[in-house]
Amino acid sequence: MPETTTNDASAGGRPPALAARRITKRFPGGVVANEAVDLDVAPGEIHALLGENGAGKSTLSNCFTGLYRPDEGTLAVDGVPVEFHSPGDAIVSGFGLVHQHFRLVEPFTVAENVLLGEHGRIRRSEAEARVAELGDRYGLEVDPSARIWQLSVGQQQRVEIIKALSCEAKLLILDEPTAVLTPQEAESLFEVLRRMTAEGRSVIFISHKLDEVRAVADRVTVLRGGRSEGTHVVAGTASRDLARLMVGRDIDLGTGPVPRQQRPTAAVVLRVEDLRATGDRGETALDGVTLDVRAHEVLGVCGVSGNGQRELAEVIAGMRARTAGTVEVAGTVLTGADPRAAHTAGLGHIPEDRLHTGLSPSLSIEDNLALTAYRRPPLSRGPFLRRTRFRARAIELMERYDVRAPGPTTPTRVLSGGNVQKVLLARELSSDPKVLLAASPTRGLDVGAIETVRTLLAEAADRGVGVLLLSEDLDEILSLSDRIAVIYEGRILAVVDRADADVEELGLLMGGDVSHLSATPARGSA
């Protein structure tokens, strides 16, 4: 595997755009997040940063952008030593960061969020026009007047990218920027990054999608356990080699179908008929959606973020009222918006916002694992909770689902993304659901956690659970699904068997192009 040293970034006599030397960051309790990390980013380079959740990528990025101050080590920008005492110092030096976990003010509009921190008086119409121009320019369209709380997770990601691009940063750090983009949109973003680097700007690209790293990056630095495993030239480097450096072992990258033992049966466990609902702003979000999911089946629903996936999940889970249509779970017709009734009927739910909608971050692991079962024996007796049973159950589930934490009383908010998702899956799957609704279940996770989550979903289907998988990640849809439905502007455009699925055609459908379809209307059932 081609390997470079940090000095290679300065070939031709130009100093690196960023030179980090022996960066070390410690936290209270003896946790060493980064230990003596060296990194050079050359002018005009796309430099990928890979590592598992908890490997130190975000901490290192925060040291580069003034959110943290390293305990040891030095930074230099264009050959000039710098010390950042605040994010403002980093911005002045030309740094921009797109966070994986958004830094947006929810009551504000898109335009107001993009303009936060700027000085001088700017008219609303000028601000909105500027945001619209940036969206058109970079293929990241979003309504400038929409408030953040009204947007899906994917649309909020677009706002974060536009925020960074609006600063004309000389060095842009992107943390999982393609997690909610179609292949065509991802390639458009790559073109934007290539144009930026052609102008002399530099990019640090953080992603768990190894194929994308190989497609867009010039070099890659791999972190494991807070230490650098080396910097390598991407050309000629296999994804499997990079994954082995990340996790220290060979893993299944999910490029093919996840192994399954059982095939779908004829028994329908989830039936959605002519479902209609409005969005947060009163617009039509679901326009006659009809879907069936059978026992032992994974039905994948793919689409560009903001085309009704969030509303579809919320209506089925009883979190949003529908204006028409029916939802039936394991033979029980759900009436009204009632999450408890949906759960009682046999629905397990993995929402896209795992840490706030799915779990309570301030509660311990054991309390989060008990949230849907504490009213029933053995966790309660009459009106009294049985705390010893809480803990015993949590210890058993943590072992079964490989939740890595100091203990069951650990606050959930301090866990890595992968462990948070395993807590959520452990709770929902241990309730023996008939249907599992999973929305973007691996978004933002590292390759090791992705492998675990996908295996758990496949095993659930093997046990007879009907899985409805909603995701913007086509690789995930293709690796898990028996059938694939494409949603666009709240309507199901087509449903195809996995064996007949074509990536290019799915991408066109996700963009609303139906010119290659036959006249047969799409249905969500076989």
Lowest mean pLDDT among 167-181, 367-381, 388-402, 499-513: 167-181
* Same domain for 295 and 242: no
Q: How far apart are CA 131 and CA 142, in angstroms?
A: 8
Asked if residue 519 has pLDDT above 50, the reply is no
* Same domain for 173 and 78: yes
Q: What is the CATH number of the domain that holds 477?
A: 3.40.50.300
Which residues, other chains included, contact 293 with Cβ-Cβ below 8 Å and sequence gap of 6+? 268, 269, 270, 271, 299, 435, 466, 467, 468
More confident residue, 239 or 77: 77
* Same domain for 81 and 174: yes
State the average pLDDT over residues 385-394: 90
* Same domain for 336 and 217: no
Q: Between vectors from CA 104 to CA 437 and to CA 182, what angle results, nearest 5°? A: 50
Asked if residue 120 has pLDDT above 80, the reply is no
The predicted pLDDT at position 2 comes to: 63
* Same domain for 342 and 205: no
Q: How far apart are CA 472 and CA 510, in angstroms?
A: 9
* Same domain for 315 and 188: no
**DSSP label at 88?**
H
Asked if residue 449 has pLDDT above 90, the reply is no
Contact 314, 470 (CB under 8 A): no
- Residues 380-384: contacts with CB within 8 Å, 24+ apart? none
* Same domain for 35 and 87: yes
The predicted pLDDT at position 424 comes to: 94
Radius of gyration for the chain, computed over Cα atoms and rounded to the nearest angstrom: 23
Strand partners of residue 439:
470
Question: Which region holds residue 336: left if phi is over 0, alpha if psi is between -120 and 50, else beta?
Answer: left
Strand partners of residue 27:
31
Three-state SS at 43: coil
Which residues, other chains included, contact 116 with Cβ-Cβ below 8 Å and sequence gap of 6+? 105, 108
Whether residue 284 is contained in a domain is answered as yes
More confident residue, 402 or 24: 24
State the average pLDDT over residues 443-449: 74
Whole-angstrom CA distances from 487 to 308, 319, 320, 323, 395 are: 7, 20, 18, 19, 40
Average pLDDT, the chain: 86
Q: Which two tokens stand for residue 119?
A: 């000085």
Domain range holding 307? 268-346+433-510
* Same domain for 206 and 317: no
The length of the chain is 526
Q: How far apart are CA 15 and CA 197, in angstroms?
A: 16
Asked if residue 244 has pLDDT above 90, the reply is no
The string of pLDDT tens digits covering residues 177-236 is 776 565 666 777 788 888 888 888 899 998 777 778 888 999 999 998 899 998 999 987
* Same domain for 41 and 178: yes
Whether residue 102 is contained in a domain is answered as no
Q: Specify the number of domains making up the chain.
A: 2
Whether residue 211 is contained in a domain is answered as yes
SS3 content of the chain, % helix, strand, coil (to 5): 35, 25, 40
Instruction: Assign 1 a pLDDT band (cuts: 50, 70, 90).
Output: low
Pairing of strands 435-439, 384-385: unpaired
The string of pLDDT tens digits covering residues 393-444 is 999 999 998 888 888 999 998 887 788 999 999 999 999 999 999 998 987 6
Whether residue 115 is contained in a domain is answered as no
Q: Which two tokens stand for residue 87?
A: 């994010």
User: Order of strands, edge to edge, in the sheet holding 466-471?
Assistant: 347-350, 435-439, 466-471, 298-302, 483-488, 491-497
The string of pLDDT tens digits covering residues 146-162 is 999 888 766 787 888 78
Confidence (pTM)? 0.66
Asked if residue 275 has pLDDT above 80, the reply is yes
The secondary structure element, H or E, covering residue 131 is helix 124-138
Whether residue 67 is contained in a domain is answered as yes
Whether residue 130 is contained in a domain is answered as no
Of the candidates 247, 278, 305, which is a domain's last residue? Answer: 247
* Same domain for 53 and 183: yes
The string of pLDDT tens digits covering residues 453-506 is 899 999 999 999 999 999 888 888 999 999 999 999 999 999 999 988 888 888
User: Order of strands, edge to edge, in the sheet holding 171-175?
Assistant: 3-4, 227-233, 219-224, 46-50, 202-206, 171-175, 95-98
* Same domain for 196 and 74: yes
Whole-angstrom CA distances from 221 to 98, 107, 231 are: 19, 38, 4
Asked if residue 17 has pLDDT above 90, the reply is yes
Instruction: Assign 252 a pLDDT band (cuts: 50, 70, 90).
Output: low
Whether residue 189 is contained in a domain is answered as yes
Whether residue 450 is contained in a domain is answered as yes
Instruction: Assign 140 a pLDDT band (cuts: 50, 70, 90).
Output: confident
The predicted pLDDT at position 430 comes to: 92
Q: Which two tokens stand for residue 150?
A: 């009204």
* Same domain for 174 and 60: yes
The string of pLDDT tens digits covering residues 294-343 is 999 999 999 887 899 999 999 999 999 999 999 999 999 998 889 999 99
The predicted pLDDT at position 255 comes to: 54
Asked if residue 69 has pLDDT above 90, the reply is yes
Whole-angstrom CA distances from 488 to 2, 157, 337, 481 are: 42, 19, 24, 19
Task: Compute how many other C-beta atoms are within 10 angstroms of the C-beta atom of residue 430.
Answer: 17
The DSSP string of 282-314 is S-EEEEEEEEEEETT-EEEEE--TTSSHHHHHH
